Amino acid sequence: MDEKKAAILGEIPRLRRYARSLLRDRDSADDLVQDCLERALVRLDNWQTGESPRRWLFTIMHHLFIDQMRKVNRRGEAAMLPLEASEAQAAPAEQVESIASREIVDALQAISPDRRAALVMVAIEGFSYAEAANILGVPAGTLMSRIARGREELRALLDDTARRRSIRIV
């Protein structure tokens, strides 16, 4: 197997983690990764040697994700309303998660896809602002505001969940 393919294989765990944070449902996330890999293999010649395979693959996957989310949004013609994500979750997560873990995963799913991607890219995947802006194809300022809004929104949802939980206990 050639070097490029070996490098791509090595990135699959990271791609799966990113996809899981975007989509949550395991099978759907792996389908996204598979689409990404198939597209990458077709375009193997576009990948410049010396360019990080990670950045190249993340860019491909992000485009696939955001294109589809846009289609969904256009048909919806309305803004996303941050419902409690557990209500919006079609497929239950199969793994056993702690309550805290489930709450933050739910909250992450409830924030807008653009903010979710920006936040995950930096906070979980550890890309620099410059790298993340490049992958997402937005100016650095836009990236920063998405990260900031994303964090605020996430925290507000978590505070809200915590408040509701304490009300329930009382």
Partner 1 sequence: MSRRDFSERDIHMALDGELPGDERTAYEAWLEANAEMKAKSARYAADRAALRAAFNGVLDEPVPVRLSKVVQGEAPVVRAAPSRSRWWLAAAAAAILVIGGAGGYLAGIGRLGLENTAEDQLAEEAIAAHVIYAAEKRHAVEVPASDKDHLQSWLSNQVGLKLVAPDLAAQGFQLVGGRLLPAGQGKAAMLLYEDDKGERISLFVTAESAAKAKGTYGSEEDGPAAVYWLDKGYGCAVVGSLPRERLAAVAKSAYGQLLAGLQS
Considering only 46, 51, 97, 162, the residue that binds partner 1 (CB under 8 A) is 97
Contacts of 25 (CB under 8 A, 6+ apart): 90, 91, 93
Please tell me whether residue 155 binds partner 1 under the rule CB under 8 A.
yes
Size of the site for partner 1 (CB under 8 A): 66
| Distance from chain centroid for Cα 44 | 24
| Nearest distance from C-beta of residue 154 to partner 1, angstroms | 6
Structure tokens at 14: 């990271």
Amino acid at 126: G
Residue 49 is classified by DSSP as T
- Binding map of partner 1 across residues 17-46, x = CB under 8 A, - = no contact: x--xx-x-x-xxxxxxxxx-xx--x-----
| C-alpha distances out from residue 102 to 89, 95, 108, 158, 162, Å | 12, 10, 10, 11, 13
Binding site for partner 1 (CB under 8 A): 1, 5, 8-9, 12-14, 16-17, 20-21, 23, 25, 27-35, 37-38, 41, 65, 68-69, 71-73, 75-78, 80-83, 87-91, 95, 97, 100-101, 104-105, 108-110, 120, 122-124, 128-129, 144, 147-148, 151, 154-155, 158
